[in-house]
Structure 1
Amino acid sequence: MSGRSRPAPDRGHTARRWCADLAMGARFAVTGGREGWIRTALTALGVGLGVAVLLLAASVPHLLNGAQERHRARSVVPAAQGAGPSDRSLLTAPADTAFRDRPVQGRIVMAEGPHAPVPPGLSRLPGPGELAVSPALGDLLRSPAGRLLKDRFPHLRITATIRDEGLTHPGELVFYEGSDALRRPDFGVERITAFGDRGEPFRPGAPTVLLLLVSCVALLVPVAVFLATAVRFGGERRDRRLAALRLVGADRATTRRIAAGEALAGALFGLLTGAAVFLAGRVPLAGISLFDLGVFPSDVVPDARVTALVVPAVLLCAVGSALFTMRRVTVEPLGVTRTARPPRRRLWWRLLLPAAGVALLLPRAIGGPGSGDAASVRLILGTALLLLGVAAVLPWLLDAVVARPAATGGGSQSWHLAVRRLQLSSTAAARSVSGITVAVAGAIAVQMLLTGSLSLPDAGQTTTAAWTEVDAYDGAVPTARAGQMSSLLRAAPGVRTAHALVAGHAAPARRQPAPDPAAAGEGEAPQPYPVTVADCATLRQLAPVGACSAGDVFLAAGPDGAAPRPGERLVLDPVGSRGDHRVPARWTVPRTARRTTAWPERPVPGRDGRGLLATPEALPPALLAHADLTCLLRLDPHTPDAIEYVRNTAARITPRAVVFRSGPPGPDEAAGLVSRGLTACATAVLLLIGCGLLLTVLEQLRERARLLSALDALGTPRALLARSVLWQTAVPVVTGLPLAVGWGLALGTLLVRIAGRPPRPDWWSILALTGTAAAVVLGVTALCLPLLWRLMRPDGLRTE
């Protein structure tokens, strides 16, 4: 009988004891008087800020899917090939434009029957002269800032407002213009039968996936470090209370369970606080638009699977951090052995994290970005390990920095007080600053990746000044009106020069392309020659034609050497003539045509100056029935809104005109915008972590209230202690920032190599990030001074 075991009662007793210890720790978190409530409130606030960011990140998939679904719902479904008009068909043409670097998406519509499809967000199609606009566009048109944009729709009246289901985000500028001038399907005009193309979903390319993954990791790793710091607030007071419990008979395992229960209670309050902050911020978030991107409050919904992982992860982080903190703290009945000199920190295992990250990323940097889930997992793990390596190396580096001044013996009294305090509690200091260093390193790496991906000019672009190009594609404006179009644009405010040209194609008359591509045999015709008709001043911009006069024709061979020959018979615009069944015009190249070459570099981006170049007197533009009409403009950089005047003039010529700027400034401006946006996001993360640093310093000051009172009673100047607090916050930050900058540059170089681009650091953004971190230190010190003055009172030495 004595050898029989009774496992069930033992297991039940153990479970009850564990629950009782955890419950006692939770009671300490909420019933410890004002001190306990302040400590729990600090923990809940810190955890809540991190949880709110995690919930926002968990909402990104639902947010993107909602915007993509609404975007696809308004895409057009073309009618069957060869189908004629019906009572359910609609003619439409794109009419996109822009206003002060904000895209304005437009579409011209004309119903061919009473049951024509209606775009999502509208109850009926706008009629001729009517305009349906999004709420943001309507507000802009009614405001004084949109007066120039309103001139683009001079004879249209707003009759409807597009509802949310027809927009991708609240700030989107969209309009539908009713018309009766769309006669038949043509190039740029198509017949559709429905809205809502349900084809293949959009799949981002490898560079976009790389940017998204790295950005998410760079955002979430500092938040994880911040959470691990927040759950450790009030550690010293907790340890003294545990020592009192040891005095009344609790063993070490019991004290650890009580500490875990206290941390668990703070984390639970933090989860509730984070959920409240997240719900309260959904509606204001809809009013924020960055880079013409925004969200609907209904889209900001956390993914259920990710949320199910966030809750236990935060609770486990709280319990694990509490137990990990106590691994080198000996809680005895007579006190806490914390002030003994800790063992020397080892560097080798801290370097294993970045080494593993480099091992995961280096093969991709050498062999290319790769694709698939396995490549994405390696990228995420490698980036996260490298960023966590900053937090792992920082404590060792801080110990090395504060140990050296102590050996030299130099410096002021405030410096010695700060250094001595850092020697006693360097772990807490490094822990509070590690979030800032990780955030700076991640922001620098993502900034390098973005700048390297967006700042390079496209192929064919040069460093010459940018052109502004106005295009009327595929006969939107008759070629006979080229001179009129050029005159109107030249008269617009801010236009210095205007060059008009007509661009089409020609094929040798001996072998025309087959009318039906399916019927084309093996002997297909060669590629058509580009044809450009313009005056001599314009032709000189495209190719080195030399002497030029009315009636001249030039033949410029391309890289393949193909060019028409003098006396050759050509079919003009053979491809465009099929849509309306016209007989294509024929034209013979004059035997006086002179050969020339294209410019070594394209002076006009997108145009290489090859093919057939002719003046209007030699080749009448009217023979090119379906040609593109283009005006190349030089704008006065000192005229405000010159590009807007050009867009207004082009819209009066034809609503289907396309206006865009060409040349290197476009990509450089985009890279600058993205870089500034990234700096703003990184600054927001630094401010968030600065709040955690402030809470940490306040908590440490409260822990040292009796010591500060003793120093004040001994006559220590308050300014000396204030400078000491400044040194205590500045030394870890100044130590961590060079480490973060170097780490971020190394990680950014690896990521840029993976993307196949050369590294291009943006030193101004790096300077802004480091300056923000320094400002956070000064702000934390300034906000801590009122509490410091309050604690420096002699009555703080009174005991009862």
Structure 2
Amino acid sequence: MGVRFAVGGGREGWIRTALTALGVGLGVAVLLVATAVPHAVTTAVARDNARSDRLIEDSRPGAHSLLVAETDTAYRQQPVRGRLVQPDGDRPALPPGVTRLPGPGEMVVSPALADLLASPDGALLRDRFQGARVVGRIGDEGLAGRGELAYYQGTDRLTGISAGVTRIHGFGRVLDPHASGEAAAEEPVLLLSVLVGCAALLTPVAVFIAVSVRFGGERRDRRLAALRLVGADRATTRRIAAGEALAGSLLGLLTGAVLFLAVRYPIARIRMLNLGVFPSDVVPDPWLTALVAVAVPVCSVGVALVTMRRVTVEPLGVTRSAPPVRRRLWWRLLLPAAGAALLWPKAAGDAAIVGTGAGVQVVVGTSLLLLGVAAVLPWLLDAVVARFGGGGVPSWQLAVRRLQLSTTAAARSVSGITVAVAGAVAVQLLLAGVQTTDPSLGYRMYRPSDANQVQVGSWSGHWAPSHAAAMFQRLRDTTGVRNSYGVLLDSAAPASPGKPPAPGRNSPPEYYGLAVGDCDALRRLARIDRCADGDVFLSRGSGIPDNPIDREVPRLPAPGARLAISPYSSSEAARNPTTWTLPHTARTVAPRASLFSLAPTKILATPGALDPALLRAPTAEAEVHLDPGRPDAVEYVRNAAARFDPLLHVSALGDGLREPGVYDIVGSALQAGAVGVLCIIGAGLLITVLEQLRERRRLLSALDAFGTPRRTLGRSVLWQTAVPVVLGLALAVGCGLGLGLLLLHLVSKPVLPDWSGIAALTGAAGAVILAVTALSLPLLWRLMRPDGLRTE
């Protein structure tokens, strides 16, 4: 009978069941996506490992060996994976997805790159490949994702193993244990961030599913009272309510499966850590899927039966909370206390969180802390609303009296938002503490105007110094380039080693960054006022404010010191280094943050003071300034670099000089997930508000008949939504900061709150309030009609 009421109760019954199915379906879809993540990641990693060409094995040529050079590039902010291949024998190893290795002047491309090259938008990219002919396509087994831009280009110009060129005997066979990603130790901080993030995103989804089962609860209770009038007992009404909840949850499972199938294709467009997925990779784990399929109906029935205990259904009506039940706080505090008890032993000194047991402990502890937020919210809402006065403006009075009569529905609706924000705040605090202590974040000091700068560099020791001058000139003559500054970078060390390191200290050999270039180029590295050919300058530090690296840099060499040039370039050069005496006229200058790759302690020399021919393993680098009026100026630079030497690497600051770190990616993913959960919970909050308005149609009609202005009722709906959400956000931010402090203490990181991120999350929650109010106004206006008082 309960199932029949759910699916055969007329238009209102179908609307109620559809809302329940939609709410449960949204939560189920999120859970199914979460269960599919392990398989998708495993498959993507396996494909990426299968095409790996960074192997350390026998370097002698053979029938199956080939030379491989990495030529990754980008095109209009899209990464392009590229490899130059040159076989040594007649049976070279083939990368996955390739049936024939391309010869000189040929290339094999991915389907997405083939479509781009064939379109008018790919004209500039075609010039980069110097007329190479496409002779085949890469299969799915050789690609990271369906939209990846990748190619293998044949060549006969690789002369052997050198900087940027390796010899391999097969793809995907990692023979050196140190080169295996599996041999690398897991990063505890990263693991902690992912575990806490998953708990923070999935816990509010579980709360949201429990709330969705209660859609239409008031009308259901009145219908059960009518059944009591015709002879049904209380046990029968509970079974009918359970059957109705079961029908809604089963339809929700079906809806969630359909939504999951629909989002597989958008998910396939997401790339993370150079990995992507195909829609066929997004497959839920069978055991976890079975768990979701069983747990959702069981929890739905359980929630329906538990909520029936708070309601007295009698033949002549429904009685709620009579007499009013005072909410107790003590048992609500047990959940966060249990969560803190699970996390505190880790934070008290045991920072090792790697392992199944420790991971489960962290997830359970975090989930209990977040569920404690949802448990404390109803008590807090009751305590605060009870102290509100009944006076004031009419809209506030109507909203306060409605909340004072029943805070259960409001607290139930807002609990999901509270849990989501608390978890997101904790993760943001953790990631902010981790990232601010990462020395590699120095590139973040650039201004937005620096987005028109490009760095072009060669491999160390790849060219003779005379060849670098031609590269610098080619870049200056490129279309869209305003200025170009080129330097030769190398290293120097004391010619006579000093005292050995103190016992027990693993300090690296003392060395200095060495740059040779004209005065204009050296001014990009330091604050130099007077400069002429023959001058030498010394600078200490990176020029980046508060850079942790600057605290451990070696002191400046003394003028007149004898230095070994390129001491670590090769074993032969190390045995017979070229020496150079630092002139007594060397001046100390202040460092300047630059795109050039240099050690924090720098020796800057003009060609007249240090002959570039003395450099044995120089790196040629150029800082190129683009014309902002030429949108494709960076593509012209990439084309010029590729035509000059395909092994040149080009880094555009506008595209991100430093590749997004793993913490950046995790933080962005969790931020997007938190906003997505807020949107889902906002949809549930809207459904709850609409349901409450429909239940109060006669009251609204009476107020309209007595002349209550519509704007007054509209503001009252805003207050009814805003008060619980504001209290929930205050509780969420406080608990989220507390959880974040506990997690930071666990990994021994400083407390540096990301207030802008917290403000963005609270702003998103505020936008949810305004959106719910605006979308509920049309139904409110329609219900405010005197004919709503008509009865039969």
TM-score tier (shorter): 0.7 to 0.9
**Which residue is 2:417 aligned to?**
436
What amino acid is the match of 2:310? R
Deviation at 1:148, TM superposition (A): 4.4
Q: Is the 8 A contact 1:605 1:662 kept in 2?
A: no
Which segment drifts farther, 136-145 or 236-245? 136-145
**Which residue is 2:469 aligned to?**
483
**Which residue is 1:254 aligned to?**
236
CA distances 1:229-272 after superposition (whole Å, capped 9, x unpaired): 00111212222232233334443333222222221121111111
**Which residue is 1:515 aligned to?**
none
- 1:797–1:508 distance in 2 versus 1, CA, 3 Å: closer
Deviation at 1:798, TM superposition (A): 5.0
- 1:590–1:444 distance in 2 versus 1, CA, 3 Å: closer
TM-score where L is the length of structure 2: 0.84
1:656 to 643, 647, 658: 647
**Which residue is 2:188 aligned to?**
206
1:785 to 768, 777, 780: 777
Which segment drifts farther, 330-339 or 455-464? 455-464
- Specify the SS of the correspondent of 2:750: coil
- 1:590–1:420 distance in 2 versus 1, CA, 3 Å: closer
Structure 2 unmatched runs, 5+: 498-507, 541-551
Deviation at 1:338, TM superposition (A): 1.0
Count residues in correspondence.
757
2:88 to 112, 121, 124: 112
Q: Is the 8 A contact 1:598 1:609 kept in 2?
A: no
Task: Map 1:707-786; keep pairs closer than 5 Å.
Answer: 707-714=699-706, 716-786=708-778
Q: Is the 8 A contact 1:489 1:495 kept in 2?
A: no
What amino acid is the match of 2:277? V
C-alpha distance in 2 between matches for 1:497 and 1:107: 28
Deviation at 1:51, TM superposition (A): 0.5
Q: Is the 8 A contact 1:494 1:639 kept in 2?
A: no
The answer as to 2:328 corresponding to 1:346 is yes
Q: Is the 8 A contact 1:93 1:656 kept in 2?
A: yes
C-alpha distance in 1 between matches for 2:527 and 2:760: 47
Task: Map 1:593-742; keep pairs closer than 5 Å.
Answer: 606-608=597-599, 616=607, 620-622=611-613, 624=615, 626-633=617-624, 640=631, 643-660=634-651, 678-714=670-706, 716-742=708-734
- 1:196–1:455 distance in 2 versus 1, CA, 3 Å: same
Which segment drifts farther, 55-64 or 671-680? 671-680
Q: Is the 8 A contact 1:171 1:289 kept in 2?
A: no
**Which residue is 1:389 aligned to?**
372
Task: Map 1:165-564; keep pairs closer than 5 Å.
Answer: 165-197=141-173, 200-202=180-182, 204-287=186-269, 294-338=276-320, 340-365=322-347, 367=349, 369-371=351-353, 372-405=355-388, 408-454=389-435, 458=439, 461=442, 468-492=454-478, 493-503=480-490, 532=514, 534-535=516-517, 537=519
The answer as to 2:127 corresponding to 1:135 is no
Deviation at 1:198, TM superposition (A): 5.3
**Which residue is 1:520 aligned to?**
none
Q: Is the 8 A contact 1:354 1:389 kept in 2?
A: yes
- 1:529–1:42 distance in 2 versus 1, CA, 3 Å: closer
C-alpha distance in 2 between matches for 1:531 and 1:414: 70
Q: Is the 8 A contact 1:456 1:668 kept in 2?
A: no
Deviation at 1:391, TM superposition (A): 1.3
C-alpha distance in 1 between matches for 2:655 and 2:22: 47
C-alpha distance in 2 between matches for 1:545 and 1:788: 70
C-alpha distance in 2 between matches for 1:642 and 1:773: 41
C-alpha distance in 2 between matches for 1:50 and 1:720: 35
The answer as to 2:17 corresponding to 1:40 is yes
1:76 to 53, 70, 78: 53
**Which residue is 1:7 aligned to?**
none
Which segment drifts farther, 639-648 or 30-39? 639-648
- Specify the SS of the correspondent of 1:732: helix
The answer as to 2:44 corresponding to 1:67 is yes
CA distances 1:579-606 after superposition (whole Å, capped 9, x unpaired): xxx9987645459677887978876764
C-alpha distance in 1 between matches for 2:632 and 2:381: 53
What amino acid is the match of 1:722? G
- Specify the SS of the correspondent of 2:164: coil
**Which residue is 2:544 aligned to?**
none
CA distances 1:560-596 after superposition (whole Å, capped 9, x unpaired): 6797997979696675376xxx998764545967788
- Specify the SS of the correspondent of 2:387: helix
Deviation at 1:476, TM superposition (A): 2.8
CA distances 1:640-688 after superposition (whole Å, capped 9, x unpaired): 5554444333222211112336899856987888766654433322221
Which segment drifts farther, 320-329 or 634-643? 634-643
C-alpha distance in 2 between matches for 1:377 and 1:762: 27
Q: Is the 8 A contact 2:638 2:650 kept in 1?
A: yes
What amino acid is the match of 1:778? L
Task: Say what the alpha-carbon RMSD is for the aligned residues.
Answer: 4.0
TM-score where L is the length of structure 1: 0.83
Q: Is the 8 A contact 1:533 1:621 kept in 2?
A: no
- 1:330–1:356 distance in 2 versus 1, CA, 3 Å: same
What amino acid is the match of 2:104? P
Deviation at 1:708, TM superposition (A): 3.6
C-alpha distance in 1 between matches for 2:381 and 2:55: 65
Q: Is the 8 A contact 2:457 2:620 kept in 1?
A: yes
- 1:347–1:505 distance in 2 versus 1, CA, 3 Å: same
What amino acid is the match of 1:414? S
- 1:733–1:153 distance in 2 versus 1, CA, 3 Å: same
Structure 1 unmatched runs, 5+: 1-23, 511-525
CA distances 1:206-233 after superposition (whole Å, capped 9, x unpaired): 2221221122112111111110000111
Q: Is the 8 A contact 1:109 1:176 kept in 2?
A: yes
Q: Is the 8 A contact 2:124 2:635 kept in 1?
A: yes
C-alpha distance in 1 between matches for 2:398 and 2:140: 60
Deviation at 1:297, TM superposition (A): 0.6
Deviation at 1:498, TM superposition (A): 0.7
CA distances 1:279-304 after superposition (whole Å, capped 9, x unpaired): 23323433456897643110110011
What amino acid is the match of 1:53? V
**Which residue is 1:576 aligned to?**
570
C-alpha distance in 1 between matches for 2:23 and 2:79: 39
C-alpha distance in 1 between matches for 2:598 and 2:666: 28
Answer with 1 or 2: which has the greater Rg. 1
Q: Is the 8 A contact 1:488 1:649 kept in 2?
A: yes
- Specify the SS of the correspondent of 1:473: coil
Q: Is the 8 A contact 2:85 2:153 kept in 1?
A: yes
Q: Is the 8 A contact 1:495 1:635 kept in 2?
A: yes
C-alpha distance in 2 between matches for 1:456 and 1:103: 28
Q: Is the 8 A contact 2:222 2:318 kept in 1?
A: yes
**Which residue is 2:545 aligned to?**
none
C-alpha distance in 1 between matches for 2:211 and 2:753: 31
- Specify the SS of the correspondent of 2:439: coil
What amino acid is the match of 1:394? L
Deviation at 1:403, TM superposition (A): 1.7
What amino acid is the match of 1:630? E
- 1:271–1:508 distance in 2 versus 1, CA, 3 Å: same
Q: Is the 8 A contact 1:88 1:117 kept in 2?
A: yes
CA distances 1:101-160 after superposition (whole Å, capped 9, x unpaired): 443222111112221111112221122122322233334445555554444323333333
